Amino acid sequence: MGRHKQHNSGRILIVDDEEGMRELLGIVLMNDGHCVETATGVPEAERFLREDNFDLVITDLRMGKDAAAGMAVLEKVRQLDRGVPTIMITAYGSVDTAIEAMKKGAIDYIQKPFRNEEMRVVVKKALEHKRLKDENARLRAEQRKMGRLEEIVGKSPAIEQVRQLVKRVAGLSSNVLIKGDSGTGKELVARAIHRLSPRCDQSFVAINCAGIPESLLESELFGHKKGAFTGAIEDKKGLFEAAHRGTLLLDEVGDMPPALQVKLLRVLDEQLIRPVGTADHVAVDVRVLSASNKDLDKEVKDGRFREDLFYRLNVIPITLPPLAERGEDIPLLAGHFVTKYARLLGKEVTSIAPDAMSLLERFNWPGNIRQLENTLERAIALCNSTTIGRDDLPRNIVEYCPEFREEVQAVLPPHGVDLEQKAEALERSLIAQALAQSQYSQTKAAELLNVPVRSLRYRLKKYGMSTTGHGKGATVKDGNCLSGQDTTDPA
């Protein structure tokens, strides 16, 4: 083993059992201003890697009688310092082996015999790759420190509280349960937690537990061995292994089958998975985030979700409010989606007309942010000007009647309430919305309301409502509200 030191930025470890090759590479690289250490084999290379930091490792593939010694060096690099690039030196005709080395993490390979200039080019490219990777890591670390969360759009107190909570939990290893209705942005929050976490350089993996059949979900999560079941024609790594040292999001975890809930609990406790079809366990280091649009407290009480698993997942809960409770955020979200989809669709749409924005702000958005995003993507695709107008919006939004919107779980005021009047107002509102959503088809509207068509017609006549929005007996306010009575906009 020889040691050569010189002040400069690139710190390189050369691993080769041939003294002549070590000396040649050392001279070439030191002449380029690099600091060089040399090792004669795998044990010495491992010692250097444990004791020192390197910017690059260059290793021969074959050393002595060991035709795969370089692979062992590569594995040590992966175990001890995943950020160090490795160049593999191979004999002429060993391209297949070199490609295999690259699959296992080598950044490049060079064949013997090689010219000095060829080695210089490969080394320069590898060190530049390392420099860019380190710079990206530094920028991400600064971003974590600043806690910037541009992807979580909004200024409402509720969403600001979510942002602050994301910043506080991102650096922890604790499990987080993200609660909220469908379309409120649960995966977006999970990705923000990962991006601001120390695991941001590793994989973020998401799986929808409700979207995969029970028979396949276990294999997706934990992997399987060849022949474990019909169709398992080769070994497959599961998502827990894919997320090793990173983050795994279990979306809609409330839909996970009971048998898998037991296995998931064991994985969370032991950090060990067992692929389907084998008795062997695989160690994993994964931060688990979960999300659900169900009330898991109620699911536990009703016996559909394990209480011990719930407490294991719900270490830190984050609750996302529905868009209907974030009215002040709608203009900001709408502007964000206009910018996004105008660019993606190649349209010159830059704004939303005031009357169209007013319609967006007063709609109740049962599909939350996802529905708003889809609405604006459609509007931009159909818009023939630079400004989205009310005619570019779907009919159910234009004709929505907030005057009749009532909460099902209403609060009784101290002075009491006219129950029949409230019930009629709610009934009119639901009928008007069903008609709008069904394009004024009485049959489809009756299906939405789960009543016979004859019953719907009776109510239409009772309230003087039209099935077109402009018929006899209907009062139309601003061309978008169906009712048998005159109404006024709320303040």
User: Tokens 């709408």 sit at which residue?
Assistant: 334
The yes-or-no verdict on residue 262 having pLDDT over 90 is: yes
Residues 6+ positions from 49 with CB-CB distance below 8 Å? 13, 57, 76, 77, 80, 81, 84
> Rg of the chain's alpha carbons, rounded to an integer?
31
Residues 6+ positions from 331 with CB-CB distance below 8 Å? 357, 360, 361
477 — pLDDT class (breaks 50, 70, 90): very low
To the nearest 10°, report the CA torsion of 305, 310, 313, 314. 130
**Chain centroid to CA 329:** 22
CB atoms inside a 10 Å sphere around CB 198 = 15
E-assigned strands of 303-459? 316-319, 351-352, 387-388
For β-strands 282-283 and 272-273, DSSP reports them as antiparallel
The yes-or-no verdict on residue 255 having pLDDT over 90 is: yes
The yes-or-no verdict on residue 294 having pLDDT over 70 is: yes
Strands of the sheet containing 56-60, edge to edge, are 3-4, 35-39, 11-15, 56-60, 86-90, 108-111
Backbone angle region of 303, left / alpha / beta, with phi > 0 → left and psi within -120 to 50 → alpha: left
- DSSP structural state of residue 98: H
Predicted pLDDT at 430: 86
Sign of CA dihedral 144, 147, 150, 152: positive
The CATH number of 404-483 is 1.10.10.60
CA separation, residue 470 to residues 64, 88, 332, 464, 489 (Å)? 91, 77, 34, 11, 19
Residue 151: what are its φ and ψ, rounded to 5°?
-75, -20
To the nearest 10°, report the CA torsion of 203, 209, 215, 219. 10
Fold match, 159-319 / 404-483: no
**CATH homologous superfamily of 159-319:** P-loop containing nucleotide triphosphate hydrolases (3.40.50.300)
User: Tokens 């999001």 sit at which residue?
Assistant: 249
Residues 6+ positions from 243 with CB-CB distance below 8 Å? 202, 203, 204, 205, 284, 286
Nearest to 297 by CA among 456, 468, 177, 412: 177
Residues of the chain above pLDDT 90, percent: 47
Predicted pLDDT at 187: 94
Which amino acid is residue 318, in one-letter code?
A: I
Of 108 and 176, which is predicted with more confidence?
176
Q: What's the average model confidence in pLDDT over 291-320? A: 95
| Domain spans in the chain, listed from the N-terminal domain onward | 3-138, 159-319, 324-398, 404-483
SS3 249: strand
Q: What's the average model confidence in pLDDT over 10-14? A: 91
E-assigned strands of 68-216? 86-90, 108-111, 176-179, 204-208
CB atoms inside a 10 Å sphere around CB 151 = 12
The yes-or-no verdict on residue 346 having pLDDT over 70 is: yes
Between CA 275 and CA 235 the distance in angstroms is: 9
Between CA 59 and CA 109 the distance in angstroms is: 10
Q: pTM for the whole thing?
A: 0.59
**Chain centroid to CA 356:** 31
Which amino acid is residue 187, in one-letter code?
A: E
Of 479 and 165, which is predicted with more confidence?
165
Are 327 and 367 in contact, with CB atoms under 8 Å apart? no
381 — pLDDT class (breaks 50, 70, 90): very high
Tell me the two tokens of residue 26.
Answer: 């050392």
**Degrees, nearest 5: CA angle 377-378-381:** 85
141 — pLDDT class (breaks 50, 70, 90): low
Name the CATH topology of 3-138: Rossmann fold (3.40.50)
SS3 463: helix
Residues of the chain above pLDDT 70, percent: 86
Predicted pLDDT at 481: 34
Q: What's the average model confidence in pLDDT over 19-41? A: 91
Q: Any idea which of 17-21, 252-256, 429-433 has the lowest mean pLDDT? A: 429-433
Choose the most confident range, by mean pLDDT, from 61-75, 82-96, 373-387, 458-472.
373-387
Name the CATH topology of 324-398: Helicase, Ruva Protein; domain 3 (1.10.8)
Per residue in 275-292, pLDDT tens?
988 888 889 999 999 999
